[in-house]
Structure 1
Amino acid sequence: MAQARPPSRPAAADREQRLFRRRRLARRLGVWRLVALAVLALGLVVLGVYALWFSSWLAVDDVEVEGTDLLSASHVEQAAGVGTGGALVSVDTDAVERRVEALAAVASADVVRRWPHTLLVSVTEREPVAAVTIGSAVRALDGDGVVFPAPAGVTDPLPAVRTSGTVTATALREAAGVVVSLPDDLAEQVRYVEVRSADEVVLAMTRGRTVVWGSSSDSATKAEVLAVLLEQDASVYDVSVPGTPTTSD
């Protein structure tokens, strides 16, 4: 049986040379692939930066406002201070929230980007509990004693609070606390609440009666005591110290 002869030296050399060229080409292709991927990645980054910051593709086209009743949407938009055409990503949402919350009628605001073109401003307004007269102006008063403008259609039906002289924010908060604590049957007999200081809140009642309420502390107890006192015929009822109430003509 004839034995296979080993390849001649020139044939073996040619095969080794072909393998070497293939390996060198593969290495070159690998390098070019890496270069191409790097260029592609860089291009995508540049395109993303351009789209986010410089193009009109992701620019602010609209500012939407929701949650307003006391305020108009245009009023909130003006306070937000965000114009159209700028990059949506560049809007400082925290700063916009602070500007909107600076409006007296706003309790809190939340600002989010709604891609690709909208900035959404969600507003929580203060809840008015009384209409307070300061000088000649009528404003709304919330439960924290914050005074803010509101339409007459909102303030007219509210319990009336009047101020005597210059009162502090603490005094207004006490007056608001008294208003919200009054039972319905007692509130119906109150013409208005007068606040003179934080410790001196007075109820002007129907039939010319006056109730010295004091501060808003122990208001539930004061209301119970007053309900009993009102059965007596008097002009002034003092429940500022509910444990020792008094009446006088």
Structure 2
Amino acid sequence: MPDRAAAAAPAAPPADRPWAGPGAARLRLSRRGFAVLGALLAALLGTACWLVYFSSVLGVRTVAVSGTSVLTPAQVLAAARVPLGGPLERLDTGAIRARVLNALPRVAQVRVSTDLPHTVRLRITERVAVAAVRDDDGQYTLVDATGVRFATGPAAPAGVPVVELALSAPGKAALADFPEAALVDGAVLVTKALPPSVAKDTRAVVVHSYDDMELQLVGGATVLWGSPERDARKAVVLAALLKQKATTYDVTAPDDPALRS
């Protein structure tokens, strides 16, 4: 008697014919779906790129300036020359930064950022004067802690020590080794080393020679400083000495300071 299980089994397809069952149709539809989905995604991506990088939909419309104190936002905007209307994401922020720094010496740093959909932000950090150098024409040039001279005016700002050259005979004789520019730079280093509380009470740094500099305090007292060397140590010692009232404070040798009433 024939085997019923064997008789019920479907016949195998011929070896030379590919299998063509219901799964094949589903596979073909799935491939078409992926192709359509890929085309849609490509179109969406292309549109998004065009909107962001080439159209004016996300263009520059507003420029916001912050961080100014002495400068005005109008001065910064004039120096930055931010092009309006162009795509925000294609903005050359490096060029904007360079224009501001080149046009405005008072600016120490400028951060340029973008804020979708239409805003460019300029964050300004202005230089802070640690000394005012009195020039031969009576003008005062402001110098920051890095030694950059960034502004000139008819008067020194309040609380900023003035550097004055009053060369002694030894100072004049040593100009070949310590020219006036080097002496001014040394005096600026002295002002940079002063604690803020001492700097605001220092009227002037008078330079007699490289080894003979003195501070004239607002109250009339004098600080014998010596050379610009060991400035940090001298500043610490001076801050301690100023707790005592005196007419002269001597920190030329900071390990052996002295004061006179």
Same fold by TM-score greater than 0.5: yes
TM-score of the superposition, structure 2-length normalised? 0.64
Specify the alignment match of 1:12 in structure 2: none
Letter in 1 for 2:188: R
Specify the alignment match of 2:160 in structure 1: 159
Specify the alignment match of 2:39 in structure 1: 39
Q: Deviations over 1:134-186 (max 9, x none)?
A: 34332333344433227779x432334134374247425313235546648x9
Q: What is the number of residues matched between the two proteins?
A: 221
TM-fit CA distance, 1:43? 0.7
Determine which of 247, 257, 260 is the counterpart of 1:230.
247
Specify the alignment match of 2:253 in structure 1: 241
> Contact (CA 8 Å) 1:146, 1:172: kept in 2 or not?
no
> Contact (CA 8 Å) 1:81, 1:96: kept in 2 or not?
yes
> Contact (CA 8 Å) 1:104, 1:149: kept in 2 or not?
yes
TM-fit CA distance, 1:47? 0.6
Specify the alignment match of 1:201 in structure 2: 213
Letter in 1 for 2:67: G
Letter in 2 for 1:202: E
Instruction: Give the match's secondary structure for 1:38.
Output: helix
Instruction: Give the match's secondary structure for 1:149.
Output: strand
> Contact (CA 8 Å) 2:131, 2:160: kept in 1 or not?
yes
TM-fit CA distance, 1:105? 2.3
Letter in 2 for 1:122: R
Specify the alignment match of 1:52 in structure 2: 52
Specify the alignment match of 1:15 in structure 2: none
Name the CA distance, whole Å, in 1 between partners of 2:153 and 2:54.
42
Name the CA distance, whole Å, in 1 between partners of 2:235 and 2:225.
8
Name the CA distance, whole Å, in 2 between partners of 1:229 and 1:75.
47
Q: Deviations over 1:79-123 (max 9, x none)?
A: 434311222112243554455455432333322210011111112
Query: Cα distance 1:74–1:207, how it changes in 2: closer, same or farther (>3 A)?
Result: closer
1:192 counterpart = 2:191: no
Name the CA distance, whole Å, in 2 between partners of 1:224 and 1:26.
89
Query: Cα distance 1:26–1:230, how it changes in 2: closer, same or farther (>3 A)?
Result: same
Letter in 1 for 2:135: I
Q: What are the residue-to-residue correspondences of 1:1-249 with 2, within 5 Å?
A: 26-101=26-101, 103-136=104-137, 137-149=139-151, 155-164=156-165, 166-168=180-182, 170-177=185-192, 179-180=194-195, 183=198, 187=201, 191-195=203-207, 199-204=211-216, 211-214=223-226, 215=228, 216-217=231-232, 218-222=234-238, 230=247, 239-242=251-254, 243=256
Gaps of 5+ in 1: 1-19, 232-236
> Contact (CA 8 Å) 1:161, 1:175: kept in 2 or not?
no
TM-fit CA distance, 1:48? 1.5
Name the CA distance, whole Å, in 1 between partners of 2:195 and 2:140.
19
Query: Cα distance 1:53–1:151, how it changes in 2: closer, same or farther (>3 A)?
Result: farther
Instruction: Give the match's secondary structure for 1:156.
Output: coil
Name the CA distance, whole Å, in 1 between partners of 2:115 and 2:52.
14
CA RMSD of aligned residues (A): 4.0
Instruction: Give the match's secondary structure for 1:60.
Output: coil
Name the CA distance, whole Å, in 2 between partners of 1:178 and 1:200.
17
Query: Cα distance 1:172–1:87, how it changes in 2: closer, same or farther (>3 A)?
Result: farther
Q: Deviations over 1:13-52 (max 9, x none)?
A: xxxxxxx697665444333322221211111121122112
Letter in 1 for 2:181: V
TM-fit CA distance, 1:206? 7.5
